[in-house]
Chain A
Amino acid sequence: MTTISGDAQQPITVRHVAIQTNWERYSFLFMRLSGVGLLVLAVGHMVIQHILNSSATLSIQFVAAQWSSWGWKAYDIVLLWLAIPHGVNGLRYVLSDYIHNRAAMRAVTAVLAIFVVATVIWATIGMILFDPAPFQ
């Protein structure tokens, strides 16, 4: 842990404290690490799909052309795996600010976890099995 001294002239005191590992700490770290990944992948996705290309010209043929390459499929699958857990975990943070009943919060967390797993699996299967041939 680091403490900040009020006086800018004073050196910063750095204390090394053994932090007990717990689930929330990994959640915090995941948000930061996936955030860095999404900074590249999600912003890249927005630039590629919405600025260099456009929804106004989007067609299933365009999707088929992209998903005929495993590179694009991998890009979208990694983006999916980072974005959905990052977003739903963020929703959990927001809800935990308003739900003070621990049992209720545990139930909400369980529902959100199931939702993350179901969404990620469903969409990953969809992308892997998508066959571009009929649309090309």
Chain B
Amino acid sequence: MASLLLTVRESIRYRGRSGHYSWLAHRISGLAILFFLVIHVWDTANAYFLPQAYGWSIALFKVPFFGLGEIGVMAAVLYHAINGTRITLLDFKPEWWKYQDQSALIAWTVFAIVFIPAAIIMFNGLWGHCSELSAIGASCWTLPVYSDFADLAR
């Protein structure tokens, strides 16, 4: 626990500049993706093993809380992919190490250019889903009920 607090405090205080922030963002985005991925894989396997649970969970993931999390996953995947490309290129091209600072900045720029339109499209989809439901007097915040998906059971 003391080690975790030290890690969090020094991650913020450490004056490593651009390379440090890239390292931190790569690590946090990686852990976030893995957390989501494990749930996603076991949940999607339920499409075969337990279709009722699968039907219920994809309905649950339409609730805006998860919809916003989905935009977060998009951000994490895009940054991890772009920064991972930078790391891989630098690993195999040591003569480019002198561009370390610029490369970190390029990664953030490419990330912003790709992520912002993606986030707008995803947010629009979420917004449209909620407007459609409120137009018929329902709410996108309503949690699905498990027994409603009994017809999917094998």
Q: Are A60 and B34 in contact (CB under 8 A)?
A: no
Chain A residues within 8 Å of B98, by CB: 4, 8
A88 contacts which chain B residues (CB < 8 A)?
Answer: 34
- Chain A positions near chain B (C-beta within 8 angstroms): 2, 4, 8, 12, 32, 35-36, 38-39, 42-43, 46-47, 50-51, 54-60, 63, 67, 80, 83-84, 87-88, 90-91, 94, 98, 119, 122-123, 125-127, 129-131
Q: Verify if B74 is at the interface (C-beta below 8 Å from A).
A: yes
Beyond known contacts A50-B122, A55-B125, A84-B41: 20 more, CB 8 A cutoff: A4-B94, A32-B88, A46-B73, A46-B74, A46-B78, A47-B118, A58-B58, A83-B37, A87-B34, A87-B37, A88-B34, A90-B31, A91-B30, A94-B30, A98-B4, A98-B7, A126-B44, A126-B45, A126-B47, A127-B48
How distant is A26 from chain B, measured CB to nearest CB, in Å? 15
| Residues on A with beta carbons closer than 8 Å to the beta carbon of B38 | 84, 87, 119
- Complex interface: chain B residues within 8 A of A38 (CB): 81
Chain A interface mostly: helix
Task: Give the B interface residue count (CB, 8 A).
Answer: 49
Q: How far is the CA of A7 from the CA of B67 in the complex (A)?
A: 51
A83: chain B residues at CB < 8 Å are: 37
Which segment of B13-21, B49-57, B101-109 sits at the interface? B49-57
Residue of B with least CB distance to A43: B81
Residue of A nearest to B46 (CB): A126
How near does chain B come to A99, taking the closest CB pair, in angstroms? 9
A10 to chain B, nearest CB (A): 12
User: Cβ of B42 and Cβ of A119 under 8 Å apart?
Assistant: yes
